[in-house]
């Protein structure tokens, strides 16, 4: 699989009618730093957590920056055992490096927690560790399923 970056993501979004903006945002490795840099709530930052199944399939769980993925809920929806992917597996499964995994164009099952939809604008993986995607969460519906995967 080719290594993808923010330029690849921009092309993919344009070709697939996904509206959003890639913004340069270096040095925001954590939700806290991203929220501070963007002057927004941690709930507006989304985290793309990559899991791998026993069959080697990728599953991406997306939650807001104040939440954690409930692995049991995720496994129930997926229908099998999952574990968090390591950095090499993230790249192999999604084409994106860890820290820049986008919600689109990965070829993985993407499951978005329903609470992410409560925001009018969200920021998350923009293709690499120096870019973020600014997007209306409704755009996620084009390639993701909205579910309840947040840890209570």
The CA distances from residue 137 to 64, 126, 132, in Å, are 11, 14, 14
Please state, in angstroms and rounded to a whole number, the distance separating the CA atoms of residues 72 and 74.
Answer: 5
Give the residue carrying structure tokens 């991203």: 34
Q: pLDDT at position 3, please?
A: 87
Q: pLDDT at position 68, please?
A: 97
Q: Is 6-147 a CATH 3.90.960.10 domain?
A: yes
Is the pLDDT at 1 greater than 70, yes or no? Answer: no
Give the pair of three-digit tokens for residue 123: 């920021």
Is the pLDDT at 2 greater than 80, yes or no? Answer: no
Is the pLDDT at 58 greater than 70, yes or no? Answer: yes
Cβ atoms of residues 93 and 106 within 8 Å: yes
Task: For 111-147, give one letter per residue: b (16+ CB within 10 A) or e.
Answer: bbbebbeebeebbbbbbbbebbbbbebebbeebbebb
Instruction: Average the pLDDT over 133-147 and give the result.
Output: 97
Is the pLDDT at 91 greater than 90, yes or no? Answer: yes
Is the pLDDT at 115 greater than 80, yes or no? Answer: yes
Domain ranges (residues) in the chain: 6-147
- Mean of all residue pLDDT scores within the chain: 96
Is the pLDDT at 19 greater than 80, yes or no? Answer: yes
Task: Tell me the CB-side half-sphere exposure of residue 65, using CA atoms within 13 A.
Answer: 21
Please state, in angstroms and rounded to a whole number, the distance separating the CA atoms of residues 54 and 49.
Answer: 17
pTM for the whole structure: 0.95
- Per DSSP, the three-state class of 20 is coil
Q: pLDDT at position 133, please?
A: 98
């Amino acid at each position: 699989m080719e290594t993808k970056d923010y330029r690849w993501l921009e092309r993919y979004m344009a070709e697939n009618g996904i509206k959003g903006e890639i913004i340069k945002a270096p040095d925001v490795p954590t939700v806290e730093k991203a929220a501070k840099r963007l002057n927004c709530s941690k709930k507006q930052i989304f985290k793309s957590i990559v899991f791998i199944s026993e069959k080697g399939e990728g599953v991406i769980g997306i939650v807001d920056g104040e939440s954690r993925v409930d692995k049991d809920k995720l496994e129930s929806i997926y229908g099998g055992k999952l574990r968090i992917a390591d950095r090499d597996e993230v790249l192999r499964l999604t084409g994106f490096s860890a820290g820049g995994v986008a919600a689109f164009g990965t070829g993985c099952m993407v499951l978005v927690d329903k609470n992410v939809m409560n925001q009018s604008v969200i920021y998350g993986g923009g293709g690499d560790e120096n870019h973020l995607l600014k997007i209306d969460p409704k755009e996620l519906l084009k390639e993701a399923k909205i579910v309840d995967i947040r840890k209570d």
